């Protein structure tokens, strides 16, 4: 199943898992998303890793790696009303109960390896998203060590 999982389906299911786990989902500042997906792309040997990561491109012209495809998809979720970012400053994403349940039902149909990849991604995201909410990312910390 991980070979057929698209970027869009992965983001949707991951977002639903964030919502279920009560993790704030950044919208306005996408930096944490890009760091997370960059790290997932680099880990080619992870069990259950979807194949789309091999084709996902990142640009390092700014202060962090950025995938235009990921950015476009995150914004399209908001534009087509799949997610809401109407909190005071468009800082975070929220899902309606119906959308969250639909996306979680798709997650439940995945094979065990794909589910395990999501679980490890969720743990990694908690760390990265917490860092991006005010502290330095793991990449910033690594750059300072050089």
Q: Domain boundaries in the chain?
A: 7-138
Q: Are 113 and 8 in contact (CB under 8 A)?
A: no
pLDDT above 60: residue 133: no
Which helix (H) or strand (E) covers residue 73, if one does?
helix 68-79
**Helix-helix angle 138-145:31-42, to 10 degrees:** 70
pLDDT tens profile 21-53: 887 776 567 888 899 999 999 999 999 999 999
Q: Are 107 and 40 in contact (CB under 8 A)?
A: no
pLDDT at 87: 45
pLDDT at 2: 59
Which residue would you say has higher pLDDT here, 22 or 5?
A: 5
Model pTM?
Answer: 0.79
DSSP annotation of 94 reads B
* Percent of the chain whose pLDDT exceeds 90: 43
pLDDT above 60: residue 84: no
Backbone angles phi, psi at 84, to 5 degrees: -115, 140
Which residue would you say has higher pLDDT here, 42 or 129?
A: 42
């Amino acid at each position: 199943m991980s070979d057929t999982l698209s970027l869009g389906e992965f983001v949707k299911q991951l977002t639903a898992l964030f919502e279920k786990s009560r993790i704030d989902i950044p919208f306005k500042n996408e930096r944490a998303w890009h760091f997370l997906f960059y790290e997932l792309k680099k880990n080619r040997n992870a069990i259950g890793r979807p194949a789309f990561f091999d084709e996902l491109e990142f640009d390092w012209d700014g202060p962090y790696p950025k995938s235009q495809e990921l950015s476009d998809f995150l914004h399209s979720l908001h534009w087509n009303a799949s997610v809401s970012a109407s909190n005071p400053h468009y800082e975070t994403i929220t899902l309606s109960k119906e959308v969250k349940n639909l996306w979680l039902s798709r997650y439940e149909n995945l094979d065990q390896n794909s589910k395990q990849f999501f679980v490890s991604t969720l743990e990694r995201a908690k760390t990265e998203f917490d860092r991006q909410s005010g502290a330095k990312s793991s990449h910033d910390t690594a750059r300072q060590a050089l």
